[in-house]
């Protein structure tokens, strides 16, 4: 019985590739096909596993050099604006004007922290400005009844709303920006129930704690940036960020980071609104608050947080907030009369440019792997060919005579 009969012959014959690079190409294609099949499998791995594989494709840690370099630029910009402000009015950087600057910076910083946190979580909170304005109205109307009675209801309503929106995002798996925009529109309706400016009734003066409030913001900004640079924290927090099909459900594993980030950002917005109202001598004017949403998100982007949510710096939030706070005070003293919406638009546009910079230069360096095999001949051999099994020949210019069958034991004997 011959081995080439049907019994011993393979049922499916695969063509042998003549190109040596085809072996490597087939291997890579098979690995890619298996990876996509695992991602599309509805009963397969969790979102964290899919995100881990997606980030592992880059094989390395994110480069922080672009973030540190850009943060130096922000620091220089803040120093330049501060110098211009000092040249205009030296008393602006001394108490009591310095206390006002610090409180304004703390309020803007709280909004920026909330925007950056929700960006990293993949659910940007577009209701930050309306929530801050609603908290300002609450404090202005109830401030004469004490801090507890004027602040706690605003915190409770903001936290409850954030939890509801977070549950909606997780259960229905809808984009975070869409859900928070709908919530923001609802808060705007509450804000615009006032048809006239509301005078501030409370007598709380936050400038008595200016250094503590701004120092608390600065500490949260630096610690948050440092924690966001850690790979496990970044992956856990960013479970809602799209990987593959953006409509694919992430599962309950993303519930805590989504709801937690929305809750903290809403609480930060309430704190910012109360600081704005308590600091101002003017009545709180009805509006939408969306200009502060634009400023918060724009500053978060300008600080180095990517619009895609994955990458972010360490000191960028602190320096960006300081620069904008100094600029607002400088513009007010110079009577520039620039609309907050215009400032928000410019800051946001600059933040988009920074996003492209950090996404381009913040990716890990490619890992040097083994060199691909080259089918080109190293020397100019006469009988060499990449397809050696089919074209190799034993003929040479000077054939050898010491063959085993050419001696006394050969066939001619």
In this predicted structure, the answer to whether residue 142 has a pLDDT above a threshold of 90 is no
- List the single range of 103-107, 294-298, 379-383 with lowest mean pLDDT: 379-383
Query: The whole model's pTM is what?
Result: 0.74
Answer whether residue 104 is part of any domain.
yes
* Averaged pLDDT, 208-220: 90
Residue 163 confidence (pLDDT): 94
Return the SS3 of 284: strand
Answer whether residue 178 is part of any domain.
yes
In this predicted structure, the answer to whether residue 189 has a pLDDT above a threshold of 80 is yes
Two structure tokens written together for 320: 């960006």
242 Cβ contact partners less than 8 Å away, ≥ 6 residues apart:
122
- Helices 176-191, 97-121: inter-axial angle, 10-degree rounding: 140
Answer whether residue 352 is part of any domain.
yes
DSSP letter, residue 406: S
Domain count, the chain: 1
In this predicted structure, the answer to whether residue 390 has a pLDDT above a threshold of 70 is no
Angle at 119 between CA 243 and CA 106, to 5 degrees: 165
Answer whether residue 176 is part of any domain.
yes
Cis? peptide before 96, omega within 30° of 0: yes
Residue 126 confidence (pLDDT): 93
Answer whether residue 406 is part of any domain.
no
408 Cβ contact partners less than 8 Å away, ≥ 6 residues apart:
none
Residue 155 confidence (pLDDT): 92
Containing domain of residue 189, as a range? 65-361
More confident position, 21 or 333: 333
Q: What is the CATH number of the domain that holds 251?
A: 1.10.3470
Answer whether residue 47 is part of any domain.
no
* Averaged pLDDT, 245-261: 74
Q: Which long-range contacts (CB under 8 A, 24 or more apart) does 250-256 make?
A: 250/47, 250/170, 250/173, 251/46, 251/47, 252/170, 253/46, 253/47, 253/48, 254/47, 254/170, 255/166, 255/167, 255/170
Query: In Å, how far are 17, 138, 303, 325, 331 from 85, measured between CA atoms?
Result: 72, 33, 22, 11, 9
Answer whether residue 407 is part of any domain.
no
Answer whether residue 372 is part of any domain.
no
The model's pLDDT over 273-307, given as tens digits with 9 standing for 90+, comes to: 999 988 888 888 888 899 999 999 999 999 888 88
Residue 140 confidence (pLDDT): 87
């Amino acid at each position: 019985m011959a081995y080439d009969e049907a019994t011993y012959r393979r049922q499916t014959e695969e063509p042998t590739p003549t190109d040596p690079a085809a072996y490597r190409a087939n291997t890579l294609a098979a690995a890619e096909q298996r990876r996509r099949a695992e991602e599309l499998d509805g009963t397969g791995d969790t979102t964290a596993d899919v995100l881990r594989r997606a980030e592992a494709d880059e094989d390395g840690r994110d480069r922080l050099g672009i973030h540190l370099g850009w943060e130096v630029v922000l620091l220089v910009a803040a120093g330049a604006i501060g110098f211009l402000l000092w040249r205009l009015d030296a008393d602006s950087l001394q108490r009591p004007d310095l206390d006002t600057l610090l409180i304004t910076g703390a309020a803007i910083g709280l909004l920026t922290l909330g925007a950056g946190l929700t960006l990293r979580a993949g659910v940007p909170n577009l209701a930050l400005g309306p929530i801050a304005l609603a908290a300002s109205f609450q404090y202005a109307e109830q401030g004469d009844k004490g801090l507890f009675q004027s602040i706690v209801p605003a915190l409770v309503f903001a936290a409850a709303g954030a939890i509801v929106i977070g549950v909606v995002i997780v259960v229905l798996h809808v984009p975070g920006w869409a859900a928070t925009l709908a919530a923001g529109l609802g808060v705007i309706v509450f804000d615009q129930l006032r048809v006239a400016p509301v005078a501030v009734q409370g007598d709380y003066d936050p400038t008595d704690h200016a250094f503590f409030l701004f120092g608390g913001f600065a500490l949260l900004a630096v610690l948050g940036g440092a924690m966001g640079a850690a790979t496990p924290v970044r992956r856990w927090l960013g479970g809602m960020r799209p990987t593959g099909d953006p409509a694919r459900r992430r599962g309950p594993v993303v519930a805590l980071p989504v709801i937690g980030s929305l809750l903290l950002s809403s609480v930060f917005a309430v704190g910012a609104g109360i600081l704005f109202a308590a600091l101002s001598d003017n009545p709180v004017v009805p509006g939408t608050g969306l200009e502060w949403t634009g400023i918060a998100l724009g500053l978060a982007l300008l600080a180095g947080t990517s619009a895609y949510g994955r990458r972010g710096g360490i000191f960028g939030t602190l320096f960006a907030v300081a620069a904008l706070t100094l600029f607002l005070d400088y513009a007010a003293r110079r009577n520039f009369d620039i609309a907050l919406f215009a400032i928000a638009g410019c800051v946001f546009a600059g933040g988009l440019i920074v996003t492209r910079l950090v996404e381009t230069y913040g990716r890990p360096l490619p890992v040097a792997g083994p060199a691909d095999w080259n089918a080109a001949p190293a020397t100019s051999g006469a009988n060499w060919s990449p397809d050696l099994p089919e074209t190799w020949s034993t003929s040479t210019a000077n054939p050898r005579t010491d063959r085993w069958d050419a001696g006394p034991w050969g066939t001619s004997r």
